[in-house]
Chains A and B, each alone.
Chain A
Amino acid sequence: MSDEHIDEVSGVSTTGHEWDGIRELNNPLPRWWVITFYVTIAWALVYTTAYPAWPMLTSATKGMLGYSSRKDVKNDLAAAEAAKGKYVAAIQAKSVSEILTDDALREFAVAAGAAAFKVNCTQCHGSGAQGSKGFPNLNDDDWLWGGSPDQIKQTITHGLRFASDPDTRLSEMPAFGDIITADQIAQVSAYVASLSGKVRDASLIQPGAKVFAENCVACHGDNAKGNREFGAPDLTDAIWLYGSGETAIAAQVRAPKQGVMPAWVGRLGEIKVKELAVYVHSLGGGE
């Protein structure tokens, strides 16, 4: 093995290692290549010293540069907050209707309101604000308590029938099951249903109108168009919070269900409430 052996086929010298007649060619690697390898090792040492890297028993080395990805996130979040700052300040200073006149501010408020809506409002009103039986659809143009920007804000701020807020929107429809007879309930239900659709027995409409005039006009108005002062719904339109048709109307006359919504200002603050009002107003039914 001490003699240099040249492989016949390739003309390359071998390392002297031989296994069952198979020899290993000695094609030397370029030296710069192995130097590059050492450079990467040196770089790894520098890098792992500068940045958090080496695992210890309970934590890891912090690195000389003091970098951490959590700090990065914190800075990014702070930068994002700072960028939002001027919008937030403007929202604080302006009323909801003023915010609506400023395109950039409105877009910001709609986005912020949408995020707040997803967290706080979807539980009752649905993720698309589409509502469900007993929970109003906020996309439509029918408003119990008014659909202007400031009215929406008022509703969100103080809630509905929310006992612990003195300024809450308050109204209560009596349970007419205790006041009028079952026949009268059937009659008035037929009359109300007839205002927006067909009824089973047209003969009930006439007496129903009389019952309505005696008992209901105080809140729902002579023409049954409702009254937003008391959150009394318009009974002539196509939108029914507790269901359409005589049966559903009769049930509501007999023992009305009345929704409760919390006052949100204490929990979300003035700015978020304004953003929510702008968002709800933007859904398509805003007045």
Chain B
Amino acid sequence: MRDKTQLTRLETETVNAAKTRKPLYAARQKIFPKRASGNFRRFKWLVMTITLGIYYLTAWLHWDRGPFAPDQAVLLDLTNRRFYFFFIEIWPQEFFYVAGLLVMAGVGLFLITSAVGRAWCGYACPQTVWVDLFLVVERAIEGDRNARMKLDAGPWTARKLMLRVSKHAIWLVIGAATGGAWIFYFADAPTLVGELFTGTAAPVAYITIAVLTATTYTFGGLMREQVCTYMCPWPRIQAAMLDENSLTVTYNDWRGEPRSRHAKKVQASGQSVGDCVDCNACVAVCPMGIDIRDGQQLECITCALCIDACDGVMDKLGKERGLISYATLSDYNANMMLATAGGSSSINPSLVRTAVGTFCDQVAHFHIRKIFRPRTYVYMGLWSLIGLGLLYSLLTRDRLELNVLHDRNPQFVTLSDGSIRNGYSVKLLNMIPEPRTIVVTMQGLEGADMVVVGDDIPAGRSFAIPVEPDRLKTLKVFVRQPADQIHAPAQTFKFRVEDKASFESNEYAATFNAPEAAK
């Protein structure tokens, strides 16, 4: 008898069966970069010292500008809307200099990238520099790669807790110093540092420090390579800057493959073997945690530490340096064609070497000439053009300016003796930190004279007026012309300002209006 409870099993599967289910979100894989040593590491230390030195110390440099201006070499005085940079003082309307510098920085980035790849990312980007600094702290406290990995994997002991707490505490102090250094550019540094510690600084100062401490700590200490890989747009943009003649950090598999950990044994068996001994030194030092031997990839910031690591190994093995090196794609491709006999076989490193083991003549090496090509010429030309333009503009800019606004309502006033009066707002800009006496003169407009409202200056065609250092002075000036001198409803004339001491001068063409009937 058939058992009614026995059911047939349906042939079906779930789309997300537990046994094959994949997580939608991946945890960050911890990276423990090993300390590298070599030429590029030394260069990076140097760049790091210079850039951090500039950032932390510039605000403390002094530059004497006399008694009427701050003596901080670099100062963004937002309250008074002035920007001081050593011998240069910029008013808000001159901010195009900063915009020009930013454009130059952009074009400069294109130039550098097209020539030597992501050098910005690898050496000078604040993210790279601060991560390097944070790694210095990490290594000093927890030790190098193996010690750190061991500590991380080990249980939470008092020692581990102590090491971790001190590491994070120092990171936070660096973060706070970073935020602190930032705000010193916006106020007198020695005064502000006193205010900071007595709790009398402006709330925005504390907020800025707090925000920058948090971002520095998070980006430099906790997120590190995640910032470059996931948050920064530059890795995506750089593809447009690179071409086959750009230098990038390259694993030269045309001499490295086939890699083998037991080269001698393999060689003895008659198979060809490359220079790569698969020691993974390049991977261990990589702050991005990638393997350069997989080729150029988005994550690579071209910090060149893998070159240092590999060069060290090659030195030990008595082989030529440069298994990993800065190379262009065109050189790399040429050498690959050589090593694969025109692409017909897998890599055979013996094809790039002579009988005595040196590289044969056909092997392409980078030549400095490659940097100079139309693309970089265009970038260099553009960069220099903007730079020269800014420089010219800076050297010839006016420090005594004049703006005149003609009263528009009413345009003119008839006075009781029949003469016509026009009103003007005359703005004198004394753009140097010295008090000056400015002589204002009228040119043209026969028979006319002018008076300054609210001043005891007698009517005339010229007057001298003191202007405070670094200030704009607005004068209300009435210009009057007798009826019999007026020959047109609109006459042009000039206001001229002159500093008799420095001989600087400026002019402004103004219009004098009169009623039609007064012609």
Contact = CB atoms under 8 A, between A and B. Distances in A.
Interface of A: 1-4, 13, 15-17, 26, 28-34, 103, 106, 126-130, 137, 139-142, 196, 234, 237-239, 282, 284-285
B453 A282 contact: yes
A30 B454 contact: no
Contacts of B413: 130, 137, 139-140, 284-285
B7 interface: no
Interface in B395-424: 407-410, 413-418, 421, 423
A220 B415 CA distance: 19
A68 to B, nearest CB: 21
B281 to A, nearest CB: 24
A32 B226 contact: yes
Given A137-B410, A139-B413, A284-B478, A32 B22 contact: no
B416 A142 contact: yes
Contacts of A126: 409-410
A238 B417 contact: yes
A43 to B, nearest CB: 14
Interface string B71-106: 000000000000000000000000000000000000
A282 B423 CA distance: 12
5 contacts: A30-B226, A34-B25, A139-B421, A141-B415, A238-B417
Q: What's the dominant secondary structure at chain A's contact region? A: loop
A133 to B, nearest CB: 13
Contact of B454 (A4, A106, A139): A106
B317 to A, nearest CB: 31
B454 A103 contact: yes
A238 B28 contact: no
Interface residues of B, number: 33
Given A28-B25, A103-B454, A141-B416, A130 B409 contact: yes
A130 B410 contact: yes
Interface string B115-131: 00000000000000000
Contacts of A141: 415-416
A2 B423 contact: no
Given A4-B20, A16-B20, A239 B28 contact: no
4 closest Cβ pairs, A-B complex: A128-B409, A237-B416, A130-B410, A238-B418
A30 B26 contact: yes
A218 to B, nearest CB: 22
Contacts of B17: 1-2
A140 B414 contact: yes
A285 B28 CA distance: 78
B329 to A, nearest CB: 21
Contacts of A142: 415-416
B13 interface: yes
A152 to B, nearest CB: 16
Nearest to A4: B20
B26 A29 contact: yes
Contact of A13 (B22, B407, B415, B454): B22
Nearest to B23: A28
B19 interface: yes
Nearest to A284: B478
Contacts of A1: 13, 15, 17, 20
B113 to A, nearest CB: 26
Nearest to B229: A30
Nearest to A15: B22
A30 B25 contact: yes
A87 B281 CA distance: 76
Contact of B16 (A16, A29, A127): A16
Contact of B19 (A2, A30, A34, A238): A2
Contacts of A139: 410, 413, 421, 423
A2 B25 contact: no
A96 to B, nearest CB: 14
A26 B21 CA distance: 11
Contact of A238 (B13, B22, B483): B483
B27 interface: yes
Interface in B220-255: 223, 226, 230
A47 to B, nearest CB: 17
A34 B28 CA distance: 12
